[in-house]
Amino acid sequence: EDIPSLAAAFADYFPIGAAIEPAQTGGLKAELLKKHVNMLVAENVMKMDAIQPSEGIFKWDNADRIVKFAKENGMALRFHTLVWHSQVGQWFFKDADGQPMVDETDPDKMKRNKELLLERLDTHVRTIVERYKDDIRDWDVVNEVIEPGDPDGMRASEWYKITGTDFIATAFKAAREAGGPDARLYINDYGTDNPGKRDRLYELVKGLLDQGVPIDGVGHQTHIDVYGPTIASIIDSMKKFAELGLDNQVTELDMSLYRWNDESDYGDQIPDHVLKAQADRYGQLFDALKANKEIVSAVVLWGISDDHTWLNGFPVTRTNAPLLFDRQYQAKEAFWAVVDPSKRQ
Ligand code: G3I
């Protein structure tokens, strides 16, 4: 079909990426991706539990499939994610006796556990970065460590309970040592437009940079919806991190048709005005990103077409349509708003 390429439309600005599963490296989905994106990220198969499900057992097949597909098609890659509190093998947090590491009644034990956990993390990070350093430049080193509702504003994950913020420093240092000076290392999170969360993230990153922790940029997931947040708040956050000398990337962009706490379902009757509002907002967002291209080095969507998106299953199973292509892989109004507004219906 004779429509322009999304990535080509942004060639003078930044690469455009999409999250994929290994199965999407074949068939019609692969053709859609080859035409429209020049960067990929694994939606699941490079997460901690996928690569190292038990200690010392590394599973590369699925991750390798995505790396191979990207290389064959001249696409860049982002790595997602070296550290996360979710989708992580629970073996990480068990001590040598198979007991849970988190034990607030025994600080000495926690201390011993801390060393062991940081050692395991160091091995995980180095093993992966060494394998892919020639193929992958941009790395989500840690994901979602800020949680304004938790003590200190840091997510009360096992990582944090056992090591404080040392797991973050360990992961970035290991990634830099294994990946060398050209690796680009990101701290990734959602809701970075929210002033409370943004400021806590800023404070954390500034503190780490002051200690010499090698952080190159902030990944802004940008899971937004038709109603919010404002485009200005997204850009303002990027400007704030740019003042620290950091790069910004949009890492998981999608735009739900529903407010996050609204569990309704349009089914197969998505109102036209909702899709128009989505197109308007997508257009405004990409215009703003273009206007700020010197502080944004990539824009990655969390999928390519509405048939495959986590938002069809979260927070409830329903019809969502957060991406630029519909379930039949046809360009939506949002696509035209982004690529060529004169072609909008
Ligand atoms: O792999 C198992 C499979 O063996 C099993 O048969 C199947 C049955 O449910 O589940 C499969 O695991 C699913 C996994 O995706 C792989 O498909 C999990 O149930 C499912 O919960 C998981 O969801 C992923 C989610 O992260 C988990 O937290 C989504 O696909 C993925 O889009 C989503 O991505 C996250 C980013 O990593 C971080 N930012 C937020 C974003 C959206 O939640």
Q: Residue 83 maps to which CATH number?
A: 3.20.20.80
ipTM: 0.94
Lowest-pLDDT choice from 58-72, 107-121, 159-173, 303-317: 107-121
Q: Grade residue 321 by pLDDT with cuts at 50, 70 and 90.
A: very high
Residues 6+ apart with CB under 8 A from 215: 141, 172, 185, 186, 187, 205, 208, 209, 246
Active site residue 252: yes
> Is the CB of 252 inside a 6 Å radius of any atom of ligand 1?
yes
Query: Catalytic: which of 252, 263, 294, 333?
Result: 252
Domain that holds residue 75: 6-343
How much distance in Å is there from the Cα of 48 to the middle of ligand 1? 12
Q: What are the C-alpha distances in Å from 335 to residues 4, 172, 289, 297, 322? A: 10, 36, 15, 20, 11
| 239 lies in some domain | yes
> Across all residues in the chain, what is the average pLDDT?
97
* Nearest CA owner, ligand 1 atom 13: 44
In a domain, 1, yes or no: no
Residue 1: band (very low, low, confident or very high) from pLDDT cuts 50, 70, 90: low
Measured from the Cα of 80, ligand 1's closest atom is: 37
Q: Per the confidence metrics, is the pTM higher than 0.90?
A: yes
Q: What percent of the chain has pLDDT over 90?
A: 95
Look at ligand 1, atom 4, and give the residue with the nearest C-alpha: 50
- In the reported structure, the alpha carbon of residue 119 is separated from the centroid of ligand 1 by a whole-number distance in angstroms of 27
Specify the number of domains making up the chain. Answer: 1
Confidence of residue 74 (pLDDT cuts 50, 70, 90): very high
Nearest to 61 by CA among 106, 109, 22: 22
pLDDT tens digits, 253-303: 999 999 999 999 999 999 999 999 999 999 999 999 999 999 999 999 999
Q: Which residue has the tokens 């550290």?
A: 83
> What is the spatial distance between Cα 130 and Cα 254, in angstroms, rounded to a whole number?
31
Residue 252, domain member (yes or no)? yes
